Amino acid sequence: MDFKHAKRNRRFDHWIMISLLSSLVLGLNFLSSKVEYQLDLTPDSKFSLSKESLARLDKMIMPIDIIITLRDQNKLPKVVQKLVHDLKLLLDSFENAETAQPVRIYRVNVDSPNAPQELLEKYKISEPNLIIIATPDGRKKTIFRYQDFEGTNPYDQSKAFRSKDSQARQSIWESGFYENWIEAGNGVLKPTTFRGEEKIMRDIIELAGKKTNRKVAYFSRGHGEKSPADVDVEKGYSVFRSMLEDRNVDVSSLDLSVLESMPEDAQIMIIAGPKATFQDKEIAMLRNFINNKNGSLLIAIDPTEGVSLVDRPAFGFRPLLKEWGIRCHDMLVYDPNRNYFDVFSSSYSLWTYPKENPHPVIKNLRDQQFSILTEKCRPVEIERNIAKEIKSSELIYSSKSSWALSGWPKREFPPVRNTLLDLEGPVPIISVAQAVQKNKQNKLNTRMGRLAVLGSSSILTNQYLKNNGGNKSLSQNLIHWLKDSEEMLDIPPKEIISYNISMTSEEFDKMLYSLGIVPGAIALIGIFVGWLRKEL
């Protein structure tokens, strides 16, 4: 046997095996690069579109084009680079979503001779650093524009000095892609929450959603109510206003006392924390709005200590609420069990839900055991016997240890329960009612007016919507229900969390060298062992 030839053939076999394995690896990499498929293995699918967004995309009436002329360049400010990176995964999810109408993503360099001129001419795009949402019929909306400033002149005393990074942060902040900006090192603000999915969905719905002439939520004024423009950290309603606008609902306010009828574009009427009684004319206008115009009414009223409302209980709303099967007593919910109170803020926690057949508004809250925080609250219960075709439900209750005090401004504290006049707990705090019609098969199917009554206006204030997930989820679900978008109700809120590493070029080089030491050492050892075997 010729051992010399056998050794040479074995060496050829080794090289052939290495070549085949290399070809297999390269081929698999090439094939995987051609397959556009993503698998999100993160908890709660953090990097996939939410079910809410998928449901909305299925309602689009035409395809959507998203054109990005913002280039991923190292010379861009860090905050702009962060936006580019955060958008990449999100837009890939939009593009790969299996929906009735496709979302097409175009990343274009407008300065390149290979740029798709037909697309640029169609949507009249000539600037770099833009993000545009457009539809095939030519409508478009620029949702982000970054101007590559060089910064202001530090020697120009006529205006304050602004660095390039500072102006970029302002552009990002005004775009609405991020929220919850905090102060980092050197006093620089940086965002902590990415809202790209919400923002892009809102703009997509505006351009490609089903058109409706009624999409305004009006806040009443003239009775001491909460204002949607109030940005107070604790008592304001600006966060609730933003939640309405994020769901493609315009927000305005009006004084019912100077009107003859509700505006034609009104979809939702909100009365939050009134301090004075509504007159018969105003009540009649609201009654016509929800009875005959299929409008939605949200009333959030607090317990009142005044005695001037005795003749017109519940600020004058009692007759209207009774027609809809709801009773809102002028009482105060009292709970001697301090375990239901927050130690620091004295907020009262509601977490008693119906045991069976929960309403869609609170189904996901009950399943996830969310608590609703509130301050002073009053009972809002449903009537068991009503003449109209009304579907009414009590959503959430106070604890079993609580009860509702009648004539509470005159009671001594701690109170003693009056078994004849007080309402035994658990006490309902939020109730909703819906009017429906029957079809020929005697099934309830035709949507009419909707009414939601909250026993405290504090549930929707800024302090609780920002800091408590239960209040936020409840508010979102109420908005969807009042809008008749019930396919959105079982979807809890979700934030996209992003991570990034900031380092200098020197730090990057050190990390690169440290990562290369182990594979380099292994390669050298392999070469050395191969040389020893050859010598032996």
What pLDDT is recorded for position 504?
Answer: 67
Q: For residues 316 and 278, what is the distance between their CA atoms, to the nearest angstrom?
A: 5
Read off the amino acid at residue 490: D
pLDDT in tens, 429-444: 999 999 876 544 444 4
- pTM equals 0.67
Angle between helices 78-96 and 164-175 (to 10 degrees): 30
State both tokens at 323.
């027609």
Distances (CA, A) of 418 to 314, 335, 403: 21, 14, 10
User: CA–CA separation, 506 vs 274, rounded Å?
Assistant: 62
Give percent above pLDDT 90 in the chain: 28
Q: Which of 316, 436, 438, 422 is nearest to 378 (CA)?
A: 422
| Residues in contact with 104: Cβ distance below 8 Å, sequence separation at least 6, in sequence order | 63, 64, 65, 66, 95
Q: Is the peptide bond before 136 cis (omega within 30 degrees of 0)?
A: no
What pLDDT sits at residue 517?
A: 80
Note every long-range contact of 478-481, with CB atoms under 8 Å and residues 24 or more positions apart, other chains counting.
478/298, 478/361, 478/452, 479/243, 479/244, 479/247, 479/249, 480/247, 481/360, 481/361, 481/432, 481/450, 481/452
Highest mean pLDDT among 157-166, 191-200, 307-316: 191-200
Residue 525 pLDDT: 81
Give CA–CA dist 416/427, Å, rounded: 17
User: 211-223 in b/e burial notation, b at 16+ Cβ within 10 A?
Assistant: eeeebbbbbbbeb
Angle at the Cα of 367 (from 361 to 372), degrees rounded to 5? 60
Per-residue tokens: 78: 């860090």
Q: Is 493 exposed, middle or buried (0-12, 13-18, 19+ CB in 10 A)?
A: middle
Backbone φ, ψ for residue 267 (5° rounding)? -110, -40
Under the banding of pLDDT at 50, 70 and 90, the label for residue 44 is low
Q: Is the CATH number of domain 213-488 3.40.50.880? A: yes
Is pLDDT of 160 > 70?
no
In angstroms, the CA 91 to CA 358 distance is 36
Beta carbons within 8 Å of 359's beta carbon, 6+ residues apart: 393, 395, 432
Q: Is 104 exposed, middle or buried (0-12, 13-18, 19+ CB in 10 A)?
A: middle
Question: From CA 246, how far away is CA 242, in angstroms rounded?
Answer: 6
Angstrom distance (rounded) from CA 272 to CA 182: 31
pLDDT band with cut points at 50, 70 and 90 for residue 72: low
Can you say how many angstroms the Cα of residue 371 is from the centroid of all Cα atoms in its chain?
Answer: 18
pLDDT confidence of residue 442: 46
Instruction: Write the Ramachandran bin of 151: left for phi over 0, alpha for psi from -120 to 50, otherwise beta.
Output: left
**pLDDT single digits (tens) 225-252:** 999 999 998 999 999 998 898 777 889 9
pLDDT score for 437: 66
The CATH class of 43-199 is alpha beta
Are 315 and 303 spatial neighbours (Cβ–Cβ below 8 Å)?
A: no
Mean pLDDT of the chain: 81
